[in-house]
């Protein structure tokens, strides 16, 4: 039997370092968190060779008293909590009391600090297997500087996992970005190999904050973002979410903070995805910078050593709150919001004043020039047009059969949908599929009651509607716009009539786990509400007896499995709704005005008025914009015409 020995402090710390010190970026994270916990108003980060050679973090925070210095580098020593109660309501970023000990066991670390009460500063470093603290006098203003050199010099195996200088620096910079987004009131600088890479002044006003976001996330993001600020039962969610027309091919512009801590959380991700579901293509990703504020007692941050995960006491409440807030904000974006922003902007530009941002926190876009900047948010694949049916090629979407149409109308109680005169409008040409064309109001441009999208004056190439407003010219993609209107109406009709359930001729039996079977049993009522009748017929067997009529022909087994796995993971499921909406989307696409369909002026005006009244009308069902504004100022510029 090998004998049991106590590990040396250094080895114990090196083992602990395995969890939190992965690369230079993780060191910067820990050091900046310490600076922020110390109340720093300014944090300067300097690195060399991607942080492998040197990381120096200097702050103007409270500093550490000389007597405490030896403890700062020892493991399980912290000033941030003292009891389990403290841990359960912890508001600081750190609390484990091991970051510095871990880092100093795998690098050459010195910490220099001075408090307000002290005449002079002191420096501490840990030495040897026992990590004894050696303290020497030093010069330093009030605050702390931690210097970390030669990362992993004594742990060659870890060093091998480091990537190129550029990659390491990218990670490090991304980390600074997150921290700078988490504390607007603190100034940050970042220097790499003696070059200033980031210099952010403290941001207090709304405009300053948006500037900071613009320089960290790109001006385009903030130009296309909607301000969110909502509160409910002890929760507050605020921040910026990009309009669906500013979507990304990767989930690389998504920042979610819980009480100032950036986190990755499946529940949050799910809630956000669900909120965008209706306005984004599946393979596109929304962009957002969001802050959730929760009573610290209702969220457990002690889940993982890196603290990137949290556990909510009432996850379902948090999920619903995030979903509802974002869903509403996205649905509320209307042409007149864009329009107001656009007018404010064009006036600003004419007066060439810096321009204040329109009232934040109202869910309105901030200095929104136009929802669409001419750059395709979608990858410019030739499929887009085809998917819209413009090319005259077969639409590469789910086939829509006559029997499905019938099922759909039956599921609505046979009443049909207000926008559709005849079921026969599907899936052929769109004759008769326009909304009832009420004659639009007299086209008097510039009137005091002018509608946000103005009045139609012409149709271009059978694809676009040109409209005139006092601000300039509006161009509408009529198929995209009509598709959204049809879709939203179908959803409304469907919601009002509830989901009709239809018995399956042959029940589908399903082999599941005991857990899933039990779940289906206890959630029978909820499943019924979704139009699903599922019965447990054995310890590990379910029988599906009824399906929503609209989804007849869908993959029953897959649907039920997905619903059950949602229930397990999120305590609820929106699968039926998701699949139903997908189907409605396909129908809406087929049932909407096609290219080369000539509309009369009253029909065009009627479409514009419908857009103004419809939720999410700024994007078609695929997340592409439905309209854009060219301001008079922009037209003037084209013709070098001064005003
Ligand atoms: N920049 C700083 N300014 C003031 N005090 C600091 C600073 N950095 C560290 N300290 C002090 O040193 C202690 C140890 O820091 P360390 O990062 O190791 O642990 P922690 O922050 O308490 O917890 P965690 O391991 O979760 O980060 C802190 O509790 C704090 O009192
Ligand atoms: Mg810490």
* pLDDT confidence bin for 448, thresholds 50/70/90: low
In the structure encoding, which two tokens stand for residue 544, read together?
């599906």
pLDDT value of position 549: 76
Tell the residue nearest (CA) to atom 27 of ligand 1: 94
| Cβ of 623 less than 6 Å from ligand 1 | no
DSSP state of 296: G
- The response to whether residue 102 sits with its C-beta less than 6 Å from ligand 1 reads no
478-525 pLDDT per residue, tens: 888 888 888 888 788 777 766 678 898 889 999 999 988 998 998 888
The predicted pLDDT at position 499 comes to: 64
pLDDT digits (tens, 9 = 90+) for 193-236: 999 999 999 999 999 999 999 999 999 899 889 999 999 989 99
- What are the DSSP calls for 150-194, one per residue? STTTT-HHHHTT---HHHHHHHHHHHHHHHHHH-TTSEEEEEETT
Per-residue pLDDT at 245: 81
3-state secondary structure of 631: strand
Report the percent of the chain where pLDDT is more than 90: 51
The yes-or-no verdict on residue 441 having pLDDT over 50 is no
Could you give the percent of the chain with pLDDT greater than 70? 79
| pLDDT for the residue numbered 341 | 39
Residue of higher predicted confidence among 488 and 579: 488
3-state per-residue secondary structure call for 1-50: CCCCCCCCHHHHHHHHHHHHCCCHHHHHHHHHHHHHHCCCCEEEEEEEHH
pLDDT tens-place string over residues 135-189: 999 999 999 999 999 999 999 999 999 999 999 999 999 999 999 999 999 999 9
Residues having C-beta closer than 5 Å to ion ligand 2: 34, 94, 99
Q: What is the mean pLDDT of residues 115-121?
A: 96
Distance CA 410, CA 519 (A): 31
For residue range 250-292, what is the model confidence (pLDDT) as tens digits? Answer: 888 999 999 999 999 989 999 998 898 888 876 788 999 999 9
Cα 232 to ligand 2 centroid, rounded to whole Å: 32
Q: Produce one character per residue of 464-486: b if its CB has 16 or more CB atoms within 10 Å, e if not.
A: bbbbbbebbbbbbbbbbbbbbbb
Query: What confidence tier does 435 reach under pLDDT thresholds 50, 70, 90?
Result: very low
- Cβ of 62 closer than 6 Å to ligand 1, yes or no, is yes
Check if 13 has its Cβ closer than 6 Å to any atom of ligand 1.
no
In short, whether 388's Cβ falls inside 6 Å of ligand 1 is no
Model confidence band, residue 362 (pLDDT cutoffs 50, 70, 90): very low
Q: Note the pLDDT tens digit of each residue in 287-310.
A: 999 999 999 999 999 999 999 999
Q: Which residue has the tokens 């006559």?
A: 402
**Closest C-alpha to ligand 1, atom 21:** 94
- Which residue has the CA at smallest separation from atom 28 of ligand 1? 78
Bridge partners of residue 121, in order along the sequence: 138
Report which of residues 474 and 564 the model is more confident about.
Answer: 474
Minimal-distance CA residue to ligand 1 atom 9:
34
Going from the Cα of 51 to the center of ligand 2, the distance in angstroms, rounded, reads: 18
Say what the pLDDT of residue 392 is.
29
Ligand 1 atom closest to 57 (CA): 1
Average pLDDT over residues 552-569: 80
State the Cα–Cα distance between residues 68 and 71, nearest whole angstrom: 5
What's the confidence (pLDDT) of residue 498? 63
Distance (Å) from CA 624 to ligand 1 centroid? 48
Distance from residue 73's CA to the centre of ligand 2 (Å): 10
Helices (H), 351-392: 383-388
pLDDT of the residue at 408? 40
Cβ(98) to ligand 1 under 6 A?
yes
* Ligand 1 contacts CB of residue 345 (under 6 A): no
**Can you give the pLDDT at residue 618?**
85
Q: What is the pTM of this model?
A: 0.72
**Bridge pairing between strands 288-294 and 299-300:** unpaired
Ligand 1 atom, smallest distance to 72 CA: 12
What local confidence, expressed as pLDDT, does residue 595 receive? 66
State yes or no: pLDDT of 23 exceeds 50. Answer: yes
- Higher pLDDT: 315 or 498? It is 315
Q: Which of 39, 72, 117, 305 to mutate to test the pocket of ligand 1 (most atoms within 8 A of CB)?
A: 72
């Amino acid at each position: 039997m090998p004998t049991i020995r106590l590990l040396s402090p250094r080895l114990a710390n090196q083992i602990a370092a395995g969890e939190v010190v992965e690369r230079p970026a993780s060191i910067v994270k820990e050091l900046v968190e310490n600076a922020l916990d110390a109340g720093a108003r300014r944090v300067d980060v300097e690195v060399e060779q991607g942080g492998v050679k040197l990381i120096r973090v200097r702050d103007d925070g409270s500093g550490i008293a000389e007597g405490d210095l030896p403890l700062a580098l020892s493991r399980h020593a912290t000033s941030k909590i003292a009891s389990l109660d403290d841990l359960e309501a912890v508001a600081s970023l750190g609390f484990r009391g091991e970051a510095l000990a871990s880092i100093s066991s795998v690098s050459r670390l010195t910490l220099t600090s001075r408090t307000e009460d002290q005449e002079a500063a002191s420096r501490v470093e840990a030495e040897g297997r026992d990590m004894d603290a050696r303290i020497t006098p030093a010069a330093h203003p009030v605050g702390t500087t931690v210097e970390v050199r030669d990362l992993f010099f004594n742990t060659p195996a870890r060093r091998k996992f480091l990537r190129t200088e550029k990659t390491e620096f990218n990670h490090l910079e991304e980390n600074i970005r997150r921290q700078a987004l988490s504390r607007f009131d603190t100034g940050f600088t970042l220097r790499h190999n003696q070059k200033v890479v980031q210099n952010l002044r403290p941001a207090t006003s709304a405009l300053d904050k948006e500037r900071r976001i613009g320089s960290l996330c790109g001006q385009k993001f903030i130009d296309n973002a909607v301000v969110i600020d909502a509160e409910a039962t002890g929760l507050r969610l605020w921040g910026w979410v990009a309009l669906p027309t500013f979507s990304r091919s990767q989930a690389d512009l998504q920042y979610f903070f819980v009480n100032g801590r950036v986190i990755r959380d499946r529940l949050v991700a799910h809630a956000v995805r669900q909120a965008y579901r209706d306005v984004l293509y599946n393979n596109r990703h929304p962009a957002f910078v969001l802050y959730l504020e929760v009573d610290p007692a209702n969220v457990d941050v002690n889940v993982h050593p890196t603290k990137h995960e949290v556990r909510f006491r009432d996850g379902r409440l948090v999920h619903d709150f995030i979903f509802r807030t974002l869903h509403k904000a996205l649905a509320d974006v209307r042409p007149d919001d864009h329009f107001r922003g656009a007018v404010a902007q064009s006036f600003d530009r004419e007066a060439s004043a810096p321009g204040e941002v329109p009232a934040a926190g109202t869910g309105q876009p901030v200095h929104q020039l136009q929802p669409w900047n001419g750059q395709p948010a979608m990858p410019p694949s030739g499929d887009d047009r085809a998917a819209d049916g413009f090319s005259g090629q077969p639409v590469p979407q789910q086939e829509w059969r006559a029997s499905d149409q019938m099922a759909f109308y039956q599921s609505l109680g046979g009443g049909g949908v207000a926008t559709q005169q005849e079921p026969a409008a599907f899936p052929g040409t769109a004759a008769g599929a326009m909304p009832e064309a009420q004659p639009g109001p007299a086209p008097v441009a510039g009137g005091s009651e002018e509608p946000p999208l103005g009045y139609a004056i012409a149709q271009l190439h059978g694809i676009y509607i040109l409209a005139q407003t006092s601000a300039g010219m509006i161009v509408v993609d009529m198929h995209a716009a009509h598709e959204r209107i049809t879709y939203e109406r179908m959803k409304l009709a469907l919601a009002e009539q509830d989901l009709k359930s239809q018995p399956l001729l042959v029940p589908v039996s399903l082999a599941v786990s005991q857990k899933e079977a039990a779940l289906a049993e206890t959630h029978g009522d909820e499943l019924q509400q979704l139009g699903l009748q599922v019965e447990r017929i054995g310890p590990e067997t379910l029988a599906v007896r009824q399906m929503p009529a609209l989804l007849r022909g869908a993959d029953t087994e897959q649907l039920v499995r997905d619903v059950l796995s949602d229930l397990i993971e999120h305590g609820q499921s929106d699968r039926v709704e998701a699949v139903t909406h997908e189907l409605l989307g396909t129908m809406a696409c087929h049932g909407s005005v096609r290219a080369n369909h000539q509309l009369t002026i009253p029909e065009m005006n009627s479409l514009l008025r419908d857009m103004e009244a419809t939720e999410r009308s700024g994007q078609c069902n695929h997340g592409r914009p439905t309209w854009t504004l060219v301001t008079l100022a922009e037209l003037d510029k084209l013709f070098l015409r001064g005003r």
